[in-house]
Structure 1
């Protein structure tokens, strides 16, 4: 097993230390509001979420249209659940790759919340990212309806709803675990320690993130249609405006935020051992 070099004591072993954790992001940083780079990042989150919802909702509606026997479809036609999962995972891969250097490529309020808890972003940035993501999602789904209103209304607008035969507890659990997998992957793939020691990690980070989205969709599409992204769920619900979609909406916010919080705590205080480091520092200070 390898040893965390950054936990070595100072002194004769100090020369082994090749990495230091960056300082945590402040809770509130007013200087961000005076920087164009901050607003550019917010715009990037809006556009990325807009494109994400536009492509993925079109894919869902297209699949349902192609397999609708009542309207001349073929039950074996369309891209299938596998294709839908690839659409969601592939778009995340592309969009994270394109926007990671500008905004971090969150494209998901649950991811933003997890990174906020891990002290990777400030409160102001987190709040404006979430607003931008929600507005981008609503706009993306709205454009789908504008282009294909008949198909959109006929095939439920790609809205997330709990499938028949599943309890709300099952749906909530699916969203918690699915979002945990996603946020855990995001934190691991973007870990600054790995970036410092493996130069290829920043380039490859979008790949495992997109693949995590793909796999979670395969597992949970039959249960909830797969949310794991509150902006995606809310955007579709707002434009479709269906009673069941609104009744189930809380599942697609509570579940992802719980999953993101658990993933952030697990990564920061178990895998990265921040709690042990803090305790070690406290014990050292007591011996002074």
Structure 2
């Protein structure tokens, strides 16, 4: 059975449905990803692998579930990349990002309710930098890993030659691998929505720009993919 998933082709005759899907999908992803971090802290050492699997599997599942409605962006960096390559209009990009960020705040609020005030000291599960990690190095790492995520998005859901049915799985696996590699270094956010809500609700703004600017820079890889592989006249366009 072929599953039709395309981040760039949605029916916006009822756009509020797409925005609602982005809210719900992003909420679940942030809630699970941050919740896994807090569970590791308070209820037993599940390790980096389990936390990475929780984030990647949650994201992949939410993309599957929202793809037919909104395209399953669930990440401001992905939406930005698709806007930069003219796969989504500016107005819809704005509302997508607003929906994603509001969902992040909602997830942070629910995490606070579930885990209590003790979780505030751990930024409600938001990523943190590892010891002695330079800010510039963290920024570059987040940018590179987000570029890898955008690469997966374009190669599996935008490029018509790609394995479209496997898009959510591939994207989720990128998040898992990034978490295993960079989780102890930067938290491997690759997504501003993963950080903004929990960080703001817990009022911990330390190094927050790293997880906004890094993914924003990584989103530029969509332009690179478009130029190299999807230019007019190629079979992939």
Provide the aligned C-alpha RMSD in A: 1.9
How high is the TM-score relative to the length of structure 1? 0.74
Correspondence for 2:167: 205
- Listed as ranges, the matches of 1:80-95 within 5 Å are 80-95=47-62
Correspondence for 1:105: 72
Q: Does 1:172 align with 2:134?
A: no
* Larger gyration radius, structure 1 or structure 2: 1
SS of residue paired to 2:77:
helix
Shift of 1:156: 3.4
Gaps of 5+ in 1: 1-23, 26-30, 68-77, 196-200, 279-288
Q: Take 1:250 and 1:154, find their aligned partners in 2: how far apart are those partners?
A: 19
Q: Take 2:228 and 2:159, find their aligned partners in 1: how far apart are those partners?
A: 16
1:44 aligned residue (21, 28, 46): 21
Q: Does 1:232 align with 2:194?
A: yes
Moved beyond 4 Å, runs of 4+: none
Correspondence for 1:147: 114
1:61 aligned residue (13, 38, 42): 38
How high is the TM-score relative to the length of structure 2? 0.89
Q: Take 2:216 and 2:229, find their aligned partners in 1: how far apart are those partners?
A: 20
Correspondence for 1:272: 230
Correspondence for 1:216: 178
Q: Take 1:159 and 1:204, find their aligned partners in 2: how far apart are those partners?
A: 28
Correspondence for 2:206: 247
Correspondence for 1:20: none
Gaps of 5+ in 2: 1-7
> Alignment length, in residue pairs?
226
SS of residue paired to 2:28:
helix
Q: Take 1:91 and 1:60, find their aligned partners in 2: how far apart are those partners?
A: 14
Q: Take 1:192 and 1:165, find their aligned partners in 2: how far apart are those partners?
A: 40
8 Å contact from structure 1 (residues 65, 155) kept in 2: no
Q: Take 1:98 and 1:79, find their aligned partners in 2: how far apart are those partners?
A: 27
